[in-house]
């Protein structure tokens, strides 16, 4: 029986464990090395007075929102079905899923909400790739942010990851966000593992994630057709044989 190569998972916990479970069902061994640690921020309950809708752009935001309010009936607009499902599982009853990007969420808000009928509250971490608040204000909405968690990056790879990469045992690396991807590239360079990355196929959730790999040579860089985990995992071959490289970065 052919042994499949190790798949590196770089997303934060607990989502990393969920991805690992999917990989195990596909027969892949995996190594979890989160490039972000999500840390909830303490604070008083959220003031939702005058808020017509809450905007949630990640599952981390869903968990943070649930921890800072007992209100479950307010309208919530979520980026992606996975975030929407997390909100529903946490008890929120009025949840609408937009597309998989903050821009699609902004478009959904413009259609579902009405300027002048109350504020929009964007639940977020300390850093975001795209902030919908300025866009919504430009469209005439009253919008504000609530920073409920922070994302901390590691200062170095674990000894286990370094050893595994130097052994050439990792065949694929899964990248879910530009920030985690940039962190990985920085730490790989600092550890002198650029050559090891040239033997790994990078699988990216979006073109923006793939762009964050610039400066590092990979065996191949593949981009998911949709910003969803199932589409990302579909980039992996279903047999034990490695597919031929498509060549340079971005192909």
Check which CATH number belongs to the domain holding 184 and give it: 3.40.50.10090
Contact 113, 54 (CB under 8 A): no
Q: Is the domain of 90 the same as that of 175?
A: no
Q: Is the domain of 167 the same as that of 228?
A: yes
Q: For residue 183, what is the enclosing H or E element?
A: helix 178-190
Q: Is the domain of 24 the same as that of 78?
A: no
Whether residue 210 is contained in a domain is answered as yes
DSSP of 190-234: HTT-HHHHTTSEEEESSHHHHHTTTTS--SEEEE-SSSSHHHHHT
Q: Say how many C-beta atoms besides its own lie within 10 A of residue 149's C-beta.
A: 20
pLDDT of residue 246: 34
Whether residue 139 is contained in a domain is answered as yes
Binning pLDDT at 50, 70 and 90, where does residue 241 land? very low
DSSP secondary-structure letter at 121?
Answer: E
Show the tokens assigned to 198: 């040239």
Q: Is the pTM of this model over 0.75?
A: no
Strand, helix or coil for residue 95: strand
Q: For residue 120, what is the enclosing H or E element?
A: strand 119-125
Residues ≥6 apart with Cβ < 8 Å to 17 = 32
pLDDT of residue 166: 95
Domain's final residue, options 133, 151, 169: 151
pLDDT of residue 69: 96
Q: Is the domain of 81 the same as that of 173?
A: no
Interior/surface letters 102-118, b for 16+ CB within 10 angstroms, e for the rest: beebbebbeeebeeeeb
Q: With 60 as the cut, is the pLDDT of residue 1 above it?
A: no
Higher pLDDT, 246 or 75: 75
pLDDT of residue 98: 85
Q: Is the domain of 167 the same as that of 147?
A: no
Q: Is the domain of 74 the same as that of 111?
A: yes
pLDDT of residue 251: 30
**Domain limits at 15?**
6-36+154-233
Mean pLDDT of 116-126: 93
Residues 157-207 have pLDDT tens digits of: 999 999 999 999 999 999 999 999 999 999 999 999 999 999 999 999 999
Contact 17, 39 (CB under 8 A): no
CA 161 – CA 188 distance, rounded (Å)? 10
């Amino acid at each position: 029986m052919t042994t499949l190569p190790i798949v590196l998972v770089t997303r934060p916990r607990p989502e990393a464990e969920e991805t690992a479970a999917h990989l195990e069902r596909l027969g892949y061994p995996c190594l979890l090395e989160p490039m972000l640690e999500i840390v909830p921020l303490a604070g008083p309950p959220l003031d939702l007075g005058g808020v017509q809708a809450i905007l949630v752009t990640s599952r981390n935001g869903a968990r943070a929102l649930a921890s800072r309010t007992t209100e479950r009936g307010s309208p919530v607009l979520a980026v992606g079905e996975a975030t929407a499902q997390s909100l529903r599982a946490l008890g929120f009853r009025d949840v609408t899923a937009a597309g998989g990007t903050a821009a699609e969420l902004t478009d959904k808000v413009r259609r579902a909400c009405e300027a002048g009928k109350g504020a929009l509250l964007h639940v977020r971490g300390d850093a975001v790739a795209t902030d919908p608040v300025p866009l919504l204000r430009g469209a005439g909405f009253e919008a504000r942010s609530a920073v409920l968690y922070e994302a901390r990056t590691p200062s170095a790879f674990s000894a286990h990851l370094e050893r595994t990469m130097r052994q050439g045992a990792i065949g694929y690396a899964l990248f879910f966000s530009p920030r985690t991807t940039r962190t990985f590239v920085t730490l790989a360079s600092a550890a002198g593992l650029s050559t090891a990355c040239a033997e790994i196929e990078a699988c990216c959730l979006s073109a923006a994630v793939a762009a964050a790999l610039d400066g590092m040579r990979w065996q191949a860089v593949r981009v998911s057709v949709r910003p969803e985990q199932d589409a990302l995992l579909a980039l992996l071959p279903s047999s034990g044989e490695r597919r031929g490289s498509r060549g340079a970065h971005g192909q």
